[in-house]
Chain A
Amino acid sequence: MSHIQETHDQQHEPTNIRRLQFPLDPNSYKILDEIGVGVSAVVYKALCLPLNSAVVAIKSIDLDQSRADFDNVRREAKFMSLLSHPNVLNAHCSFTVDRRLWVVMPFMSAGSLQSIISSSFPDGLSEPCIAVVLRETLNALSYLHDQGYLHRDIKAGNILIDSNGSVKLADFGVSASIHESNSSRGWCSPSSSVFTDVVGTPYWMAPEVIHSHNGYGTKADIWSFGITALELAHGRPPLSHLPLSKSLVLKITKRFRFSDYEKNKNEKNKRFSKYFKEMVGLCLNQDPSKRLTAEKLLKHSFFRNCNKGLDFLVKNVLHGLPSVEDRFRIIKSPTLSVVPVVNKSIGDEDGEDEEMEDSNEKRRRISGWNFNEDGFKLDPVFPTDSEDDSVVKQVRFGGETIIQNKGGESKGESIRSSSLDQPSQFTQSTCSSSSSLGQVGEETRAVSLVQERGGESGESTPGELGESSPSSPGQGRTSGGIIDRDIVMQDLIFLKRNLEDERQTLMQVFRLLEAEEAVEATREEYLERMVERLRSELESEKKRNLELELEVEFLKMQIQCDN
């Protein structure tokens, strides 16, 4: 396997050598196997014949299909050749082959973490393994953000592992450069809100991306990173057992097993350390400005306590794993069409589901969730009519969610099931009675939701939104009755109280944790500060020294010139 070795150290080789090495001609490559497939791309394992048959991965993108996204393709190729970091998957080269673009990349023999998890760790990885993977991923993120890039699609499916345990962040299909975006405000710092397009994969999307009219920046990647942490811990992203909407369900949820998420949740929680939970909590703050930067996250105790190297991953994750080709064959077999390696975000899928295009936009807006650090999961946020409670203000998926998620809400369950378990419709007046449901009640949205639902009878989605007015109930669309407004109100008020209680408990836990942390931290911090200070003194001494030397050099040069 000596040829694989060659591809591992690409990042540290100079660009010129890298470019000369890989031929820009399809005949120089021998395709072995398909290892991934997406909307408009296929990923192959291949040999580069002139280079001692080095193993490579080739992403073959159908350019004719990615009509509107040609700029994305161009950007991806550019990023992949300009970025260079040990934790970022870059391209050896790229060239066109008729209507396809071939991007030749290092072959990451263990594949994506998503595929590893779904094939061998359905309940998630162990915490030490997660720590290593996340640390490496964070290195990549820190580099990208420092370079002014947003990845915009962080998830386990885009984190690849090689046979030696090295971890690389991949798929820059939707990434963007802040420095190159022609924003009207001119040049902005990476953390500020530059982008407004909804891009990414729904379950991992930060709230501000979903509500993208306000703009978002690098902190959106941090949110997705937090979701990815939960994904690695539980085996699937939070709420993936919930259908976001028909279109999203079709594309994403099939990869995950819905069955035992709720059941196993409690026992699994015990496995995770306080630090881990806290770290994830710092990523999943609703307020982007309160999330830590990638650089700061790396300094969190969770990562500082992680002393495992890449060999730890080899031993504990890669050992005995089926090959990436075999895994792909299994996944590909019956009905699944979406596979992690190239899976595409919504932004990429123009023309694929046109009938949903405009309703999607609105549907995505009504999601919102709060991280429950104690339970180590995301709690969906339910509608409320109170104005003062900003935390609880956002609604998730309208009626749908309330039903689907009732298992997770222990106290409110009985009441909710009594009122909402049968097929029923929210009337418009009900919706608008609560501030957040008002969004749901917009006529266009409601119409499209109902229409979609019509073809989706198999789903257990008893709650239904209708645009019908109270005076003409159920206008021939569904057979269900209308929910009594008072009951719903009671229900919502109860829920709200419930949530407030939980929030208070959480706040207490937070305070306790902070106090504990403070004691532990003091001595360490003191030493750290000391080291920091000494370092900066040394640094400035060096600088002065160099400046003086430069001056001498410069004077010498001038003397030479004068002579």
Chain B
Amino acid sequence: MKGLFKSKPRTPVDIVRQTRDLLMIVDRNADTRESKREEKMAELCKNIREMKQILYGNSESEPVAEACAQLTQEFFRENTLRLIIRCLPKLNLEHYLLQARKDATQVVANLQRQQVHSKLIASDYLEANIDLMDVLIEGYENTDMALHYGAMLRECIRHQSVARYVLESAHMKKFFDYIQLPNFDIAADAAATFKELMTRHKSTVSEFLSKNYDWFFAEYNSKLLESTNYITRRQAVKLLGDILLDRSNSAVMTRYVSSRDNLRILMNLLRESSKSIQIEAFHVFKLFAANQNKPPDIVSILLANKSKLLRLFADFKTDKEDEQFEADKAQVVKEIDAL
């Protein structure tokens, strides 16, 4: 009696195939009156969920490497990712569809890290379908999709070739606006992606910065460091420190700290009433002061503000004891004092 009705368990490959078939149907038929649409949607959601369970495991069991590899291989063998990205906005209106949207996002995110025969096949797929990044990035303009596409995007730019594409694309300029979107959750997501782009792949970043120095820092200064939005300024000055202090960006750093305009902006940030911004600004300012080949106009600005700066640093402290900070401060004070 048992087992009579039991169909044999579906393999990961079966699940991916059926998902793809269902996605194709969803993708083609916009007609909501179409018969059995609801059932198909439900089935699609179930399949996506099953993929997620294979990849992540559940509270009972850990994921099985072999099953993950099979799923990944089948997934990227054909254009499943494109279909998912395209169909994602259609998963809406119903609670279970929104859930499937989240599941799909997690599946796509996970697949970026899956190795098949110790190769990240997602990377190869994306290189061949790099236009998908355009869709994901523009997702930030769609309140509904932003967090989902954003999460996928951040996983995709773990691949260096993908990050390079995004950095060199015209989209880069848009990030300066995305990080200041009024929805905090979306703006924060865009900021996280931007940070990832600017810090993850060192050689690509330094190449990008030296090629795009002029427009990039012009935008960075005017739109981010001089933004009226507190949180934008705070994140931007922190990230600037991370970028400039990275050894691979030393050429860029030398160039940045030779500009009096940059110095002026950083000195303004040092004067902010927010302690967090002050501290982060200090970590950039110290590079101007420590520069052993200060251009004359930098020296003259520092000289003109010498007493003010020394007074500022006299009672400039972090909340927690920070030896490195104290040492840096002492060094900066010494440099300025010696001018």
Give A contacts to B, CB under 8 Å.
11-12, 14-16, 19-20, 24-25, 63-64, 67, 74, 77-78, 80-82, 84, 91, 93-96, 98-99, 101, 145-148, 179, 186-192, 218, 293-295, 350-351, 354, 533, 536-537, 540-541, 543-544, 546-547, 549-550, 553-554, 557
Interface bits B47-88 vs A (CB < 8 Å: 1, else 0): 000000001111111110000000000000000000000000
Residue of B nearest to A354 (CB): B320
List 24 A-B residue pairs with CB atoms under 8 Å apart, sorted by A's residue number. Answer: A14-B94, A63-B231, A74-B192, A81-B185, A93-B183, A95-B182, A96-B184, A99-B231, A145-B59, A146-B59, A187-B63, A187-B110, A187-B113, A191-B60, A218-B59, A295-B59, A350-B319, A354-B320, A537-B4, A540-B6, A540-B7, A544-B7, A546-B43, A557-B28
Distance in angstroms between the alpha carbons of A544 and B10 in the assembled complex: 11
Interface bits B260-286 vs A (CB < 8 Å: 1, else 0): 000000000000001110000000000
Contacts of A543 in B (CB 8 A): 7
Contact present for A179 and B59 (CB under 8 Å) = no
**Which of A25, A77, A540, A547 is within 8 Å of B185, CB to CB?**
A77
**Which of B5, B22, B40 is within 8 Å of A541, CB to CB?**
B5
Minimum distance in angstroms from A223 CB to a CB of chain B:
15
**Which of A14, A146, A147 is within 8 Å of B93, CB to CB?**
A14
Distance in angstroms between the alpha carbons of A147 and B99 in the assembled complex: 10
Contact present for A74 and B58 (CB under 8 Å) = no
Contacts of A19 in B (CB 8 A): 143-144, 183
Contacts of B275 in A (CB 8 A): 64, 67
Contacts of B192 in A (CB 8 A): 74
Minimum distance in angstroms from A90 CB to a CB of chain B:
11
Given contacts A14-B93, A187-B56, A547-B18, contact A179 B184 (CB under 8 A): no
Contact present for B21 and A537 (CB under 8 Å) = no
**Which of B63, B92, B110 is within 8 Å of A16, CB to CB?**
B92
Contacts of B130 in A (CB 8 A): none
Contact present for B143 and A16 (CB under 8 Å) = yes
Distance in angstroms between the alpha carbons of A187 and B54 in the assembled complex: 11
Distance in angstroms between the alpha carbons of A96 and B274 in the assembled complex: 15
A15-B98, A189-B61 are known contacts; what are 10 more A-B pairs with Cβ within 8 Å? A77-B188, A80-B185, A145-B59, A146-B59, A295-B59, A537-B5, A541-B5, A543-B7, A546-B43, A549-B36
Minimum distance in angstroms from A189 CB to a CB of chain B:
3
Interface presence of B31 (CB below 8 A): no
Residues of chain B at interface, number, CB under 8 A = 54
Contacts of B106 in A (CB 8 A): 148, 179
Contact present for B110 and A179 (CB under 8 Å) = yes
**Which of B95, B99, B231 is within 8 Å of A96, CB to CB?**
B231
Interface presence of B229 (CB below 8 A): yes
Minimum distance in angstroms from A283 CB to a CB of chain B:
14
Contact present for B320 and A550 (CB under 8 Å) = no
Distance in angstroms between the alpha carbons of A12 and B98 in the assembled complex: 10
Q: Give the 7 A-B CB pairs with smallest separation, nearest first.
A: A189-B57, A94-B184, A537-B5, A24-B182, A77-B185, A74-B188, A351-B319
Residue of A nearest to B14 (CB): A547
Residue of B nearest to A102 (CB): B184
Contacts of B274 in A (CB 8 A): 64, 99
Contact present for B231 and A186 (CB under 8 Å) = no
Distance in angstroms between the alpha carbons of A173 and B185 in the assembled complex: 14
Distance in angstroms between the alpha carbons of A368 and B181 in the assembled complex: 47
Minimum distance in angstroms from B51 CB to a CB of chain A:
13
Residue of B nearest to A16 (CB): B144
Contacts of B60 in A (CB 8 A): 191, 293
Interface presence of B303 (CB below 8 A): no
Distance in angstroms between the alpha carbons of A541 and B7 in the assembled complex: 8
Residue of A nearest to B189 (CB): A78
Interface presence of B230 (CB below 8 A): yes
Interface presence of B294 (CB below 8 A): no
Contacts of B18 in A (CB 8 A): 547, 550
Minimum distance in angstroms from B250 CB to a CB of chain A:
27
Distance in angstroms between the alpha carbons of A53 and B147 in the assembled complex: 28
**Which of B21, B39, B95, B229 is within 8 Å of A554, CB to CB?**
B21
Minimum distance in angstroms from B23 CB to a CB of chain A:
12
Residue of B nearest to A76 (CB): B185
Interface presence of B312 (CB below 8 A): no
Minimum distance in angstroms from A429 CB to a CB of chain B:
34
**Which of B59, B98, B143 is within 8 Å of A84, CB to CB?**
B98
Minimum distance in angstroms from B19 CB to a CB of chain A:
11
Contact present for B58 and A78 (CB under 8 Å) = no
Contact present for B188 and A78 (CB under 8 Å) = yes
Contact present for A94 and B183 (CB under 8 Å) = yes
Interface bits B90-127 vs A (CB < 8 Å: 1, else 0): 00111100110010001001100100000000000000
Interface presence of B24 (CB below 8 A): yes
Contacts of A81 in B (CB 8 A): 147, 185
Distance in angstroms between the alpha carbons of A192 and B94 in the assembled complex: 32
Distance in angstroms between the alpha carbons of A157 and B231 in the assembled complex: 29
Interface presence of B301 (CB below 8 A): no
Interface presence of B314 (CB below 8 A): no
Contacts of B57 in A (CB 8 A): 188-190
Contact present for A147 and B102 (CB under 8 Å) = yes
Minimum distance in angstroms from B329 CB to a CB of chain A:
18
Residue of A nearest to B228 (CB): A98
Contact present for A146 and B5 (CB under 8 Å) = no
Contacts of B5 in A (CB 8 A): 537, 540-541
Interface presence of B2 (CB below 8 A): yes
Given contacts A218-B59, A553-B25, contact A98 B147 (CB under 8 A): no
Minimum distance in angstroms from A73 CB to a CB of chain B:
8
Residue of A nearest to B114 (CB): A187
Distance in angstroms between the alpha carbons of A136 and B191 in the assembled complex: 36
Contacts of B94 in A (CB 8 A): 14
Contact present for A78 and B185 (CB under 8 Å) = yes
Distance in angstroms between the alpha carbons of A187 and B185 in the assembled complex: 24
Contact present for A99 and B147 (CB under 8 Å) = no
Minimum distance in angstroms from A34 CB to a CB of chain B:
22
Minimum distance in angstroms from B60 CB to a CB of chain A:
7
Contacts of A148 in B (CB 8 A): 56, 106
Distance in angstroms between the alpha carbons of A549 and B25 in the assembled complex: 12
Contacts of A189 in B (CB 8 A): 56-59, 61-63
Contacts of A546 in B (CB 8 A): 39-40, 43
Contacts of A78 in B (CB 8 A): 147, 185, 188-189
Minimum distance in angstroms from B31 CB to a CB of chain A:
13
Distance in angstroms between the alpha carbons of A540 and B62 in the assembled complex: 25
Contact present for B184 and A101 (CB under 8 Å) = yes
Contact present for A94 and B185 (CB under 8 Å) = yes
Query: Of B5, B94, B98, B189, which is in contact with the most chain A CB atoms at under 10 Å from its CB?
Result: B5
Residue of A nearest to B115 (CB): A186
